[in-house]
């Protein structure tokens, strides 16, 4: 153990990144023989231990570390790849490891018996490699490469059950929308490179890689006018990249569909880690953003949080609710970045990763048992539909407890981690808005409303799933009854449930400033602290959340549901605000119409033009033939004849006649004399 501790953080971090990759290669080589997933599991366990002991604790308490090697050189510019270890990157890396570890354990039970299990482990290792590499990249280009790898692994995992049409459609959709974001990211990289001349994070942002107020920051970046147009464009481009990856409002449509993948994948990739990569990117390049970009980020984040919360209200699919709640919480993080308090965004990212992963795993356990029950009882229903559940707390008490803890954390009840992080964002947003005044206040107000809605819809999910009476109670028997999930699934859930409580993040259960994550980042805020806000907003939010749960209890458990199931608003929410339909009409149908119009255009205008051009070309060809025959050939023949004639003349020089030679010699003499005279 002592020798292990002596490994430098850089080497350890490299091992953390490379171990899953080695696992991926081995599993790819073994093919079907590696269905147990032991290789990937061992790799991620080692990665987690290394990341925690040799990287995180060393770097968090000590100095930052960087290591880079030159990758290639173009002209005088050389690109380097390397590892950047600072508090942000090591905490992100550790977070990814810690989330990935229980998911790996969980997957062993959850994915048991699947046909393509070897592919599953391979992809999962690939994803871990890419995600861990993304966190510690020193270079924006390197970051982009891992970013793409992450997207690719996500694509593979969403379409894991590729025989299902919906899965194929979903991964195609995710891939296409992420492409929009990647384009933005690439444009951002190009802009930064063109203007600053480097993509190295340390060269860009100073020694620690993310502090703008660091005096060692790059001179060029300090001299840049923060309001210059290119900076705004670059910031918006980076944000576009983050928008696609982190599923922000117009580009969020891929995430609900991505739930077609295995639930364990959803919990790891589409709830905890990959979608947080966008937030992580924004935190990394935070010094690049100026006021305009930050405002755009805040507004988009608010819209996302609000719209996704509304959509979550009307869903019946248990995973879709969680997906929308993920989008909503990512919106919160974006607001955190947008108001400049990116430390709160990172805090929320970390807490959210735990409780959302927990929620997904619990949902996975429920779905798992529901589908088992479905197979055994020979029934035909959707195992993910809330309306088919109810009263499950009698059958799955441990899952119930875990999920309630996750739900409470999501709602922001005190003593949970969610309380700390969510309140930190809302309070910061309020302080920020009160500094700017007027319309800015709409953002914290919206966030409060969204918080209450969050509490309501997650309460709805809990009540609908675990309370009331089971829809298929008459089918349960001793032979095929619902029962608790296997231990391999329960233990990761319990671990995550423990992590969703406040002690993991800070010993003070009620004030977020005391969490070690916030204290570690030491962000200098641009707005004054309002102490009353720190008191009233958390209290108000807690009371509001309790009220929302009570309302949910009244509606769903006491069966006092006031609205009709086919209410317009419910339908609007259920159909995700018809956004997919709008997209369908706007982009798909539009594209089809455009294609039809283009076809017609092609058929008549282009073809007509082509025919006209053809006819013209024929006429031109005739003229050209004449021209060729008479002028071009004429020129050629003329030059040939001229050459021949000159040769004919020159032939006379070599005529064997003394007088000719003499004349020739004299000509040269005259030319020489003339040269001397003129010179």
- Write down the least CB distance from residue 661 to another protein, Å: 10
- Write down the least CB distance from residue 644 to another protein, Å: 20
| Among 475-483, 485-493, 629-637, 668-676, the segment contacting another protein (CB under 8 A) | 668-676
**CB crowding 200-232: b at 16 or more within 10 Å, else e:** bbbbbbbebbbbbeeeebbeebeebebeeeebb
Rounded Cα–Cα distance for residues 637 and 628 (Å): 12
Both tokens of 597, joined, read 């119009």
- In the bound state with another protein, the residue whose beta carbon lies nearer, of 605 and 662, is 662
Count residues near another protein (CB under 8 A).
Answer: 12
- Write down the least CB distance from residue 645 to another protein, Å: 16
For residues 207 and 216, is the Cβ–Cβ distance under 8 A?
yes
Rounded Cα–Cα distance for residues 268 and 275 (Å): 9
- In the bound state with another protein, the residue whose beta carbon lies nearer, of 539 and 673, is 673
- In the bound state with another protein, the residue whose beta carbon lies nearer, of 634 and 663, is 663
- Write down the least CB distance from residue 646 to another protein, Å: 15
Q: Would you count residue 585 as binding another protein (CB under 8 A)?
A: no
Q: Calculate the alpha carbon distances from 498 to 27, 100, 397, 494, 550 in Å.
A: 32, 16, 16, 6, 25
Q: Calculate the alpha carbon distances from 207 to 65, 77, 212 in Å.
A: 9, 20, 10
- Write down the least CB distance from residue 641 to another protein, Å: 22
- In the bound state with another protein, the residue whose beta carbon lies nearer, of 164 and 652, is 652
- Write down the least CB distance from residue 639 to another protein, Å: 25
**CB crowding 318-345: b at 16 or more within 10 Å, else e:** bbbbbbbbbbbbbbbbbbbbbbbbbbbb
Within 10 angstroms of residue 71's Cβ, the number of other Cβ atoms is: 13
Binding residue for another protein, selected from 543, 565, 594, 673, defined by CB under 8 A: 673
Q: Would you count residue 594 as binding another protein (CB under 8 A)?
A: no
For residues 330 and 345, is the Cβ–Cβ distance under 8 A?
no
- Write down the least CB distance from residue 667 to another protein, Å: 6
Binding residue for another protein, selected from 1, 670, 675, 679, defined by CB under 8 A: 670
- In the bound state with another protein, the residue whose beta carbon lies nearer, of 624 and 669, is 669
Q: At what angle do helices 318-338 and 342-377 cross, to 10 degrees?
A: 180
- Write down the least CB distance from residue 618 to another protein, Å: 53
For residues 47 and 13, is the Cβ–Cβ distance under 8 A?
no
Both tokens of 160, joined, read 């894991």
Q: Would you count residue 219 as binding another protein (CB under 8 A)?
A: no
Roughly how many angstroms between the first and final C-alpha of the chain, as a whole number? 91
Rounded Cα–Cα distance for residues 117 and 39 (Å): 13
The alpha carbon torsion through 526, 532, 534, 536 (nearest 10 deg) reads -140
Bridge partners (DSSP) of residue 83 are 67, 137
Q: Would you count residue 229 as binding another protein (CB under 8 A)?
A: no
- Binding residues for another protein restricted to 608-667, rule: CB under 8 A: 656-659, 662-663, 666-667
State the binding string over 365-404 for another protein (x if CB under 8 A, else -): ----------------------------------------
- In the bound state with another protein, the residue whose beta carbon lies nearer, of 519 and 657, is 657
- In the bound state with another protein, the residue whose beta carbon lies nearer, of 507 and 676, is 676
- Write down the least CB distance from residue 631 to another protein, Å: 34
- In the bound state with another protein, the residue whose beta carbon lies nearer, of 481 and 657, is 657
Rounded Cα–Cα distance for residues 278 and 672 (Å): 81
Q: Would you count residue 678 as binding another protein (CB under 8 A)?
A: no
- In the bound state with another protein, the residue whose beta carbon lies nearer, of 597 and 668, is 668
Bridge partners (DSSP) of residue 69 are 81
- In the bound state with another protein, the residue whose beta carbon lies nearer, of 562 and 656, is 656
- In the bound state with another protein, the residue whose beta carbon lies nearer, of 524 and 658, is 658
Both tokens of 52, joined, read 């925690």
Rounded Cα–Cα distance for residues 278 and 241 (Å): 7
Binding residue for another protein, selected from 219, 225, 677, 679, defined by CB under 8 A: 677
- Write down the least CB distance from residue 676 to another protein, Å: 10
- In the bound state with another protein, the residue whose beta carbon lies nearer, of 72 and 675, is 675
State the binding string over 254-293 for another protein (x if CB under 8 A, else -): ----------------------------------------
Q: Would you count residue 539 as binding another protein (CB under 8 A)?
A: no
- Exposed, middle or buried: residue 509 (CB in 10 Å: 0-12, 13-18, 19+)? middle
Rounded Cα–Cα distance for residues 175 and 156 (Å): 10
Binding residue for another protein, selected from 596, 624, 631, 674, defined by CB under 8 A: 674
Rounded Cα–Cα distance for residues 444 and 178 (Å): 29
- Write down the least CB distance from residue 635 to another protein, Å: 29
SS (H, E, C) 605-623: HHHHHHHHHHHHHHHHHHH
- In the bound state with another protein, the residue whose beta carbon lies nearer, of 69 and 649, is 649
- Write down the least CB distance from residue 649 to another protein, Å: 10
- Write down the least CB distance from residue 658 to another protein, Å: 6
Vertex 48: Cα angle to 42 and 50 (nearest 5) = 100
Phi-psi region of 161 (alpha: psi -120 to 50; beta: other; left: phi over 0): beta
The tally of CA atoms less than 13 A away on the side-chain side of residue 500 is 29
- In the bound state with another protein, the residue whose beta carbon lies nearer, of 617 and 665, is 665
DSSP letter assigned to residue 316: -
- Write down the least CB distance from residue 627 to another protein, Å: 39
Q: DSSP 3-state assignment of 377?
A: helix
- Write down the least CB distance from residue 668 to another protein, Å: 10
Run of H or E including 81: strand 77-85
- In the bound state with another protein, the residue whose beta carbon lies nearer, of 585 and 665, is 665
Question: Footprint of another protein on this chain (CB under 8 A)?
Answer: 656-659, 662-663, 666-667, 670, 673-674, 677
């Amino acid at each position: 153990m002592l020798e292990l501790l002596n490994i430098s953080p850089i080497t350890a971090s490299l091992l953390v990144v490379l171990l899953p990759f080695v696992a991926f290669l081995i599993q790819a080589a073994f093919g079907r023989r590696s269905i147990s997933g032991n290789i990937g599991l061992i790799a991620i366990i080692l990665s987690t231990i290394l990341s925690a002991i040799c990287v995180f604790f060393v770097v968090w308490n000590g100095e930052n570390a960087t290591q880079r090697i030159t990758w290639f050189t173009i002209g005088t510019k050389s690109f380097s790849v390397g590892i950047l270890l600072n508090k942000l990157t090591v905490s992100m890396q550790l977070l990814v490891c810690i989330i990935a570890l229980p998911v790996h354990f969980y997957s062993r039970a959850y994915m048991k018996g699947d046909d393509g299990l070897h592919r599953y482990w391979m992809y999962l290792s690939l994803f871990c490699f890419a995600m861990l590499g993304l966190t510690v990249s020193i270079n924006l280009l390197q970051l982009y490469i891992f970013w793409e790898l992450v997207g690719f692994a996500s694509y593979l995992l969403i379409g894991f059950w590729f025989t299902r049409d919906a899965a194929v459609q979903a991964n195609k959709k995710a891939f296409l929308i992420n492409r929009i974001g990647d384009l933005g990211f690439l444009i951002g990289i190009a802009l930064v490179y063109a203007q600053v001349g480097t993509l190295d994070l340390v060269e860009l942002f100073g020694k620690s890689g993310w502090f703008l107020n660091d005096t060692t920051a790059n001179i060029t970046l300090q001299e840049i006018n923060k309001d210059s147009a290119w900076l705004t464009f670059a910031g918006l481009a980076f944000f576009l990249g983050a928008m696609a990856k982190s599923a922000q409002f117009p580009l969020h449509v891929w995430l609900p569909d991505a739930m077609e993948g295995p639930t364990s994948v959803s919990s790891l990739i589409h709830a905890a880690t990959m979608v947080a990569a966008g937030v992580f990117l924004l935190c990394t390049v935070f010094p690049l953003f100026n006021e305009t970009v930050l405002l755009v980020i805040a507004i988009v984040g608010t819209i996302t949080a609000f719209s996704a919360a509304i959509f979550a209200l009307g869903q019946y699919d248990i995973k879709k609710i969680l997906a929308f709640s993920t989008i909503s919480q990512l919106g919160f993080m974006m607001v955190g970045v947008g108001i400049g308090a990116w430390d709160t965004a990172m805090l929320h990212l970390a807490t959210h990763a735990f409780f959302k992963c927990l929620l997904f795993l619990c949902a996975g356990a429920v779905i798992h048992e529901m589908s088992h029950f479905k197979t055994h009882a020979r029934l035909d229903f959707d195992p993910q539909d809330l309306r088919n559940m109810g009263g499950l707390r009698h059958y799955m008490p441990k899952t119930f407890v875990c999920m309630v803890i996750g739900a409470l954390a999501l709602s922001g009840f005190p003593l949970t981690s969610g309380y700390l992080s969510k309140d930190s964002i809302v309070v910061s947003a309020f302080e920020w808005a009160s500094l700017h005044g007027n319309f800015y206040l709409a953002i914290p107000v919206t966030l409060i409303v969204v918080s209450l809605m969050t509490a309501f819809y997650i309460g709805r999910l809990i009540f609908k799933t675990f309370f009331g009476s089971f829809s298929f109670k008459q089918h349960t028997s001793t032979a095929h009854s619902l029962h608790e999930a296997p231990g391999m699934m329960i233990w990761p859930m319990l671990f995550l449930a423990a992590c969703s409580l406040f002690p993991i993040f800070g010993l003070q259960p009620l004030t977020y400033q005391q969490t070690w994550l916030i204290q570690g980042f030491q962000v200098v805020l641009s707005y004054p602290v309002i102490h009353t806000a720190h008191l009233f907003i958390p209290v108000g939010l807690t009371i509001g959340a309790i009220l929302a749960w009570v309302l949910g209890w009244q509606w769903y458990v006491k069966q006092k549901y006031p609205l009709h199931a086919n209410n317009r608003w419910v339908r609007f929410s259920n159909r995700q605000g018809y956004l997919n339909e709008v997209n369908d009409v706007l982009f798909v149908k539009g594209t089809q119409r455009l294609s039809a119009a283009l076809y017609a255009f092609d058929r008549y205008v282009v073809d007509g033009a082509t025919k006209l051009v053809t006819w013209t070309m024929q006429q031109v060809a005739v003229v050209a033939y004449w021209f060729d025959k008479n002028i071009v050939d004429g020129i050629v023949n003329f030059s040939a004849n001229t050459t021949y004639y000159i040769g004919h003349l020159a032939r006379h020089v070599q005529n064997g006649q003394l007088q000719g030679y003499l004349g020739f010699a004299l000509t040269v003499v005259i030319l020489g004399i003339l040269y001397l005279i003129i010179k």
